[in-house]
Structure 1
């Protein structure tokens, strides 16, 4: 993880108040985590660090896009990534990151590595089900979509009308309306 050294922020030399840091995230960042779900990454991270006497407040803001493959058609497309995350860094006896919003670092610590938080922010900003925008609006034409359409179950012309329903159900429906 020495390649992620640029994501280490030394907060000891900083004055109290607000400090801004900008990071450009690309494929090499995710190669360090051995994460290969993205074809291409172009995300800008803006970090606002507010240093106070007893704690640090970190406000992460991510914007950009990742190129992923559609889960239905396997066609690559650019998925927009917009997300924010707040982290509070407190000082304590020992390192503790059990709470996702609060990080406790030992009192003698002078720097913090934020690479893991950037990684999680971007990965969690991508939807679990990735669908190409052309599939949703019907403009994408591909072999896979036509095959899915061909194999999808067709509506049965013998739809059940209210006459085909068992009359016992009608009696039960009356119980619901007789309140």
Structure 2
């Protein structure tokens, strides 16, 4: 996949210490990854890169909203998201990303691209089931909700269950109470 230039950080020219990078993520970013679950997005990424003599520490803070469709009613709504991630970049003989929060890059590298980490942070911040807030508190008025309510199985009262009991069992029930 082609790397986006604005997410490439050339760390060789940076001084030892902390450096801040801010990114505004919109729908075009997810279109680049061919991710079509969002209708739109408005996400802010704060990246703190701390350069040390032998390694780099990156702290990602993601917050914002994504417009998604409800899994129950298919109504679009803005879902707030927030996530954070710490990444340590070390230098070694060859590229190695076997560990979740440690990345080893070859000694000759001079830049790092963070677009994949940002993409994964946003996607993993989403809940597995997206439910419109109006469905949870009962304020959403939707044809789909009305139809679901109409077609849902009705629970019977306990009184009705007692009346529908087969009369042949009544004699056996007396045996339980005649101890």
TM-score by length of 1: 0.87
Find the residue that maps to 1:120 and give its secondary structure: helix
* Alignment correspondent of 1:116: 116
Answer whether contact 1:69 1:130 (CA < 8 A) is retained. yes
Does structure 2 retain, via aligned residues, the 8 Å contact 1:70–1:132? yes
Match in the other structure for 2:168? none
Listed as ranges, the gaps of 5+ residues in structure 1 are 171-179
SS of the counterpart of 1:74? coil
1:3-56 Cα offsets, whole Å, 9 max, x none, are 611100000000001000000000110111010100001000000000011110
Query: Runs of 4+ in structure 1 displaced over 4 angstroms?
Result: none
Decide whether the 8 Å contact of 2:3 with 2:115 is kept in 1.
Answer: no
Corresponding residue for 1:154?
154
The 8 Å contact of residues 3 and 32 in structure 1, kept in 2 or not, is answered as no
Residue deviations 1:58-100, cap 9 Å, x none?
0000111000000000000000011111111011111011111
SS in 2 for 1:45: strand
Helix, strand or coil at the partner of 2:53: coil
Runs of at least 5 residues in structure 2 that lack an aligned partner in the other structure: 166-171
Measured on the aligned residues, the alpha-carbon RMSD in Å equals 1.8
Which structure's CA Rg is the greater one? 2
